[in-house]
Structure 1
């Protein structure tokens, strides 16, 4: 069965047909017969192709993906397993996922959660993201992160209120933002998201998997367990 999967993957991936026949030792007719006789191998082959494609995307950028902006980390900052989350403070599903992340942190003390600010929904998203990075610089990231998601909207007043609630030096944060200290990080997050094929929030990367949407703690937890076992 494994050689059939190899042929299917080669064909789907666009490898030369002649190479596939040479590898299997079969001609086109017999290969077609074998695939028709074993159609259950096709989903397995497609899953393997997706896995290989995802690994090819992640591996060259893994160290960059898993290296956080200083302070923009939840959970265990020295954790052996890294969960990367792309998030936007205007995103309802990101807000819903906040409790999921806290559950995962409580259940997995070896997990480091790297938050990547990906403000793609509103102008307020970008303002909140800059303040979040300023909070990280001041060692108040988690406090601001929670306070911002608890706000009703991303008005300038609510962003400043979240900063004050988190214990930030707001004047210092404003100076850093005005100096453009966080623009490179935000641009880099866009670059990483585009290379991972991420077009919305929340999105998650753990191990060799990219997950999209509010998939819930069970799905992310399973991906964490797989990364731990790999």
Structure 2
């Protein structure tokens, strides 16, 4: 009798339109039998549960990707044309890569050579670096130094300092930063004086405000064309660039 009831309930669930199948109208015995039948089915066919979880995860990722695209579109002017961030690569490139960076971030250090390699080999990528110090006082000090160098000595000196800061393995201090300035023939005293000015603070503040609007909480974070990538692309940066270009037609 119980087997017949279970079979009947399962058949009703599968055969009846979803709108007509209302568990709330079941008796206690019917609900219990139905629940047991579902449990038995899942235990005998666990791949169904795995497929369901995978489908839910795929849908979640798709929803997040769509939301991130909307964030990029809504903040495109601040992302691509803020007027203060360093611009390298090909300024007239057909694709723009924007990277939010922190000099004390191990992942940023790791991906930096790959970023330079992709931009150099491609030849048609515009690269924008946004200072986003979030890992403490040394991060803030390093970003202030890099921005001060950019404002006083120009973009070429900024990129050289940018690379030097990634190469540093000791603590970031005024003394260690002055040593970089001296090695590169920069005016160490003028740079230190510039570091705590409103001109430098304003760049960091604007980048943080943009990151907040875009729900960016970590580094590196990339904007590649219309796509927002939170972290290092799992397939590699070159592959991500290729896929995004292909999607754009």
Instruction: Pick the TM interval, shorter chain.
Output: 0.7 to 0.9
Does the 8 A contact of 2:181 with 2:188 survive in 1?
yes
Structure 2 counterparts to residues 133-152 of structure 1, below 5 A: 133-137=147-151, 138-139=153-154, 140-152=157-169
Is 1:109 aligned to residue 126 of structure 2?
Answer: no
Q: Does 1:66 align with 2:76?
A: no
Normalising to structure 1: TM-score of the pair? 0.74
Q: d(CA) in 2 for partners of 1:155 and 1:172?
A: 16
How big is the shift at 1:110?
Answer: 1.0
Provide the rounded CA distance (Å) in 2 between the counterparts of 1:88 and 1:54: 21
1:122 equivalenced with 2:136 (yes/no): yes
Q: Which moved more, 1:166-175 or 1:132-141?
A: 166-175
CA distance change for structure 1 residues 192 and 62 in 2, over 3 Å: closer, same or farther?
Answer: same
Instruction: Give how far 1:193 is off.
Output: 1.3
- Cα deviation code 1:81-121 (max 9, x no counterpart): 11111111111111111111111112221112111111111
1:113 partner SS = strand
How many Å separate the matches in 1 of 2:150 and 2:207? 15
Q: Which residue of 1 aligns with 2:39?
A: none
* Equivalent pair of 1:207/1:223 in contact (CA under 8 Å): no
Unaligned runs of 5+ in 1: 1-25, 31-35
1:173 deviates by: 2.0
Contact 1:88 1:129 in 2 (8 A): yes
Residue of structure 2 aligned with 1:157, choices 163, 172, 175: 175
CA separation of 1:121/1:71 partners in 2, compared to 1, >3 Å: closer, same or farther? closer
**CA–CA distance in structure 2, aligned partners of residues 109 and 29 of structure 1:** 60
TM-score by length of 2: 0.69
Q: CA RMSD in A?
A: 2.6
Shift of 1:210: 1.9
Shift of 1:75: 2.0
Deviation, structure 1 residue 41:
6.9
User: Residue 170 in 1 paired to residue 170 in 2?
Assistant: no
Matched, 1:213 2:227: no
| Alignment partner of 1:198 is 2:198 | no
Partner of 2:241: 224
Partners of 2:20 and 2:228 in 1: CA distance: 37
Note if contact 2:93-2:125 (Cα within 8 Å) is conserved in structure 1: yes
Structure 1 pair 49/161, CA: closer, same or farther in 2 (3 Å)? same
- Count matched residues: 198
Sort the Cα spacing of 1:228 and 1:155 in 2 relative to 1 into closer, same or farther, 3 A: same
**Higher mean Cα deviation, 82-91 or 165-174?**
165-174
